Structure 1
């Protein structure tokens, strides 16, 4: 079956004011700086928009969320969550945008249009101190996070072309 390629949303979430909590947003910024994307791909800084993300999510068939994740492993560890694991990954954190995103996905499901979602998360080193810069540990792992996100994107039918 051919037809339209699925619409893919790459969503970076987090609060860039709290060091590594902003890793998802910083990762999306890096993707925008270094790649051009096929027409079926949208990149978005979801910040901590919560319910305002509902429309972009409902417009997408597939969503790749980039975020800081408290999985209990060493800082810089990268996680991949899908399906039922999403709740584990998104609800565990004492941060407003996380439970918002779970709620928003649940509301999308209630109205019958929730994208398949994968979360690529990274264990933060510091998410308590205010700083707009990522910690060195997390910053050096961002390329690895992007590599995983780009593999997800390619598998879902999106194309990322490195900028000249």
Structure 2
């Protein structure tokens, strides 16, 4: 007697798409990648096609470095948003694809998180569990030295173009982004509620009250010579 085919044989496993936002939201334009993924989650949800479609996972990668390797290894397609120093005008977007991504990150590092993420990609390659397609959407930053600052207007405007490029890639990979109709719960949000962009900017203290150079009680100004 021939056994009935199992459900898994009738329905091949779905592709996995991972969308990573890399960077540190506390250092002005360094937070570009995380802010892009945050905006993607707030504006869109992903509908499954009746015949099946890829699963899409949005991740605030922050500066986690090697802790992200499991997500890279699990992805069939990997989309990365990040602030990248291309030596271009601030707010300029540029895409790097597939094998060029780890090479590019190794050639010109802007911050320590890029060193860590280059290692993540190389480790995934060494283990033989590397995405079939990789796309890095990078934005030239304007300001990185403002601790507690937010995206500069030029870089914030560039988010719209970056999201459009990302949505094009997601659709090409078979994802079905649709405008969000279901409100996000606190548990679902990929960023902490306290760090969500609007709240982060609204609750930021004025520069006169936010110490940018260290508390004078512990870091007194150097003696004038």
TM-score by shorter chain over 0.5: yes
Change (3 A) 1:32 1:132: farther
Q: Is the 8 A contact 1:70 1:89 kept in 2?
A: no
1:23 to 16, 28, 32: 32
Alignment of 1:156 onto 2:173: yes
Alignment of 1:80 onto 2:95: yes
Q: Aligned residues, how many?
A: 163
Alignment-derived partner of residue 41 in structure 1: 56
Alignment-derived partner of residue 120 in structure 1: 137
Structure 2 Cα separation of the partners of residues 3 and 123 of structure 1 = 40
Structure 2: which 5+ residue stretches go unaligned?
1-10, 49-54, 182-225
Partner secondary structure for residue 143 of structure 2 = coil
Alignment-derived partner of residue 53 in structure 1: 68
Q: After superposition, what is the alpha-carbon deviation per residue over 1:52-109, rounded to whole angstroms, capped at 9, x for unaligned?
A: 1011111110100000010011111101001342134323123111011111111111
| TM-score when normalising by structure 1 | 0.93
Alignment of 1:32 onto 2:41: yes
Alignment of 1:103 onto 2:119: yes
Structure 1 Cα separation of the partners of residues 148 and 103 of structure 2 = 27
Superposition deviation, residue 46 in structure 1:
0.2
Structure 1 Cα separation of the partners of residues 130 and 103 of structure 2 = 18
Structure 1 Cα separation of the partners of residues 101 and 145 of structure 2 = 23
Superposition deviation, residue 158 in structure 1:
1.1
Q: Which has the larger radius of gyration?
A: 2
Change (3 A) 1:69 1:133: same
Q: Is the 8 A contact 1:16 1:22 kept in 2?
A: yes
Q: After superposition, what is the alpha-carbon deviation per residue over 1:25-58, rounded to whole angstroms, capped at 9, x for unaligned?
A: 0011101111002461000000011111011111
Higher RCO, 1 or 2 (CA under 8 Å, sep at least 6)? 1
Alignment-derived partner of residue 211 in structure 2: none
Runs of at least 4 residues of structure 1 off by over 3 A? Answer: 2-5
Structure 1: which 5+ residue stretches go unaligned?
none
Which moves more between the two structures, 132-141 or 80-89?
Answer: 80-89
Alignment of 1:65 onto 2:85: no
Q: Is the 8 A contact 2:22 2:82 kept in 1?
A: yes
C-alpha RMSD of the superposition? 1.5
